[in-house]
Amino acid sequence: MSYVCRGDILEETGRIDEFVSDHVAAAEILDVLFDRNELDDIELLVSIHQGIASALMKEGRMKEAEKHLLAAMRMGVDGIEDTMISLGINPP
């Protein structure tokens, strides 16, 4: 959670690259737990990937954003729908 908290502060101060870096570090740790089926809060991981994707899209870094959107989507239908809504896309 330290990476997430620090990343949030960095985002608020406009330091987007550092925000992305910290949130990616947090996501990597949680991804390992998810893969081991040991993650209690999947929504947290989905939210982190959504936030990273959103920040990257605002910076025009679509290819990198796509990676995080797909990561959020692999966590289930709820992840897909939440991701689409957070990006302003109406789910089918």
In this structure, which amino acid lies at residue 4?
V
Single out the residue of 44, 7, 12, 9 nearest to residue 22, CA to CA: 7
**By percentage, how much of the chain surpasses pLDDT 70?**
89
CB atoms inside a 10 Å sphere around CB 13: 9
CATH topology for 2-86 is 1.25.40
For the stretch 12-42, pLDDT in tens is 899 999 999 999 999 999 999 988 989 999 8
Distance CA 78, CA 92 (A): 13
Whole-model pTM: value is 0.78
